[in-house]
């Protein structure tokens, strides 16, 4: 059975949940409304700009994988 890797959005959600930072703190740091972060954790989308700010705050790095 092939193991499917998490997509980018799922990785960001996982990092947000495991970061230990409160939604309030991340909201203050990123400028993303706390309600938007809550909706994101429950499956709703965020704009690319917001995802970028959230990834920066969580110190995530996007890499390109060559499955060649």
**30 found inside a domain:** yes
Six token digits for residue 4: 């499917």
pTM of the model as a whole: 0.75
- Segment 35-63, tens digit of pLDDT: 999 999 898 989 999 989 998 999 988 77
**64 found inside a domain:** no
State the Cα–Cα distance between residues 4 and 37, nearest whole angstrom. Answer: 25
Q: State how many domains the chain has.
A: 1
pLDDT band at 68 (very low <50, low <70, confident <90, very high): low
**33 found inside a domain:** yes
Contacts of 24 (CB under 8 A, 6+ apart): 34
**4 found inside a domain:** no
Range of the domain at 24: 20-57
**62 found inside a domain:** no
- Segment 3-26, tens digit of pLDDT: 567 788 888 888 888 999 999 999
């Amino acid at each position: 059975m092939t193991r499917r890797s998490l997509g980018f959005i799922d990785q960001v959600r996982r990092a947000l949940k495991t970061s230990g930072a409160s939604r309030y703190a991340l909201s203050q740091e990123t400028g993303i409304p706390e309600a938007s972060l809550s909706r994101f954790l429950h499956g709703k989308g965020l704009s690319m700009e917001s995802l970028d700010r959230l990834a920066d705050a969580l110190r995530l790095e996007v890499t390109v994988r060559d499955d060649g």
